[in-house]
Structure formats: C-alpha cells, structure tokens
C-alpha cells in the first residue's frame, strides 16, 4: 500500500480531532498549517531513527581541509546532496573512524572531517517522496506533525501540543524496536580468536 502526503496529514488532523482535507491546494487553516510544518516534521522524524527506507551509503569526494582542523583531522569530504544525518564513516569501507562536521571555506556548505583516507559514509537521506515511507514511519510522522500544528489549529492550546509531543516521544522506543527487528548486525569478531 502506498502512502500519500494527504493520508499522513489526515492522520495528524485526526489526532487533533480536526476536520480532514482532500487536497494540498486547499486554502483551509488545516492545509496551510500542515504545509507550513510538513518538511520540518518529516526531517525531525527521519533524524530520530535510521529508518531503513532512508539509509544510504556513498563514497565521499575529497575537498580542501579548512584551516584550523589539521591537528585533529587529515581529510575533508563533501557530503552527499540530501544528507540529513551522518551515522558512521568507514575507512576503506570497513572500520569506523571518528568524524566531525564543519563549514566549508566559503561558509555555504558542510564538510565531513575525518582521518579516513578513503571514506564510505553511512547516512540518512532526506527522503521527500511519501510513497517510499513505510507505515510505521508514516504513523510516527503523523504524530509529530499533529504536535507541531496543534497550537496554531487549536488556538494556542499548549497542553494538547505537549500531550501530542509526549505521545510521539513515548511511541519512539516501540517504533525503534519494530524497525530494528528488520535488520541484523554483523557480529563483532572475537579478538581472542583473531589472535590465534
């Protein structure tokens, strides 16, 4: 089953007890608020957990290391377009390396700084196409959107917004467990056996 943006908006409005909408082009208060907060809610929920549909890997392109970082890091890399959250940097695609994010020399973009001479990035992409969302993510996104639009739609009812935010927060651990059960980590090699 594919999930549309309007389906998620209507789930969020349902949490508020507000009327549903039929189109993103309506000029109702419900549509205006959902449109205003949609991208922020989507990005927040994507950042809260590495959802499988949004996980990507990419080899990074080397850039000039900004001044002042040379004592700690040897390499700087451009981040992929639509990189929302960095999870891990692997040297030669195998072992994890420490990293930090910094502005490039022009101050108009982010760089990833690390000591990995050939860096593979594991990251969350800013997925905008709702048809790629799974149902669990769509449900969590509707909860977050409801919390964000509650105050403007319910005329300043901060208590309802706080309740909805709490409902979202309480729902995160079970959602993480459900999503995590769909992946299996490679077991770590026993150092004792490796030395034998």
Q: Which of 5-9, 89-93, 96-100, 175-179 has the lowest mean pLDDT?
A: 175-179
| pLDDT in the model for residue 190 | 53
- Is the domain of 109 the same as that of 70? yes
- Is the domain of 25 the same as that of 120? no
- Is the domain of 76 the same as that of 24? no
- The answer to whether position 188 is within a domain reads no
- The answer to whether position 185 is within a domain reads no
Q: Which domain holds residue 37?
A: 5-51+134-178
Q: Which of 8-17, 54-63, 69-78, 155-164 has the lowest mean pLDDT?
A: 155-164
- Mean pLDDT for the stretch of residues 166-187: 77
Q: Are 85 and 99 in contact (CB under 8 A)?
A: no
- The answer to whether position 92 is within a domain reads yes
Split into its structural domains, the chain has a count of 2
- Is the domain of 27 the same as that of 70? no
- Is the domain of 90 the same as that of 104? yes
- Is the domain of 139 the same as that of 156? yes
- Is the domain of 113 the same as that of 169? no
Residue 114 pLDDT more than 80? yes
Show which of 125, 142, 164 is a domain's final residue: 125
Provide the mean pLDDT of the chain.
Answer: 89
Round to whole Å and give the CA distance between 28 and 30: 5
Q: What confidence tier does 48 reach under pLDDT thresholds 50, 70, 90?
A: very high
- Mean pLDDT for the stretch of residues 10-31: 95
Round to whole Å and give the CA distance between 153 and 84: 28
- Is the domain of 170 the same as that of 75? no
- Is the domain of 74 the same as that of 118? yes
- Is the domain of 117 the same as that of 151? no
- Mean pLDDT for the stretch of residues 22-41: 96
- Is the domain of 110 the same as that of 148? no
Residues 6+ apart with CB under 8 A from 156: none
- The answer to whether position 94 is within a domain reads yes
Residue 14 pLDDT more than 70? yes
Q: What is the CA radius of gyration of the chain?
A: 21
- Is the domain of 72 the same as that of 60? yes
Q: What is the 3-state secondary structure (H, E, C) of 116-142?
A: CCCEEEEEEECCCCHHHCCHHHHHHHH
- The answer to whether position 69 is within a domain reads yes
- The answer to whether position 33 is within a domain reads yes
- The answer to whether position 187 is within a domain reads no
- Helix 29-48 and helix 5-16, axial crossing angle in degrees, nearest 10: 100
- The answer to whether position 189 is within a domain reads no
């Amino acid at each position: 089953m594919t999930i549309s943006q309007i389906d998620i908006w209507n789930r969020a409005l349902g949490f508020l007890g507000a009327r549903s909408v039929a189109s993103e082009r309506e000029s109702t208060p419900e549509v205006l608020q959902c449109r205003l907060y949609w991208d922020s809610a989507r990005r927040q929920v994507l950042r809260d957990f590495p959802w499988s549909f949004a996980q990507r890997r990419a080899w990074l392109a080397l850039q000039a290391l900004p001044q002042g970082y040379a004592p700690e890091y040897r390499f700087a890399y451009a981040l992929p377009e639509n990189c929302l959250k960095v999870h891990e940097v692997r040297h030669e695609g195998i072992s994890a390396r420490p990293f930090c994010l910094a502005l490039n020399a022009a101050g108009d973009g982010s760089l990833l700084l690390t000591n990995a001479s050939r860096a593979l990035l594991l990251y969350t992409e800013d997925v905008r196409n709702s048809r790629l969302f799974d149902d669990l993510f769509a449900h969590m996104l509707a909860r977050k959107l409801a919390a964000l639009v509650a105050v403007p739609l319910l005329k300043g009812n901060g208590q309802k917004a706080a309740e909805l935010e709490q409902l979202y927060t309480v729902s995160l651990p079970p959602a993480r467990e459900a999503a995590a059960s769909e992946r299996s980590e490679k077991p770590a090699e026993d150092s004792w056996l490796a030395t034998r």
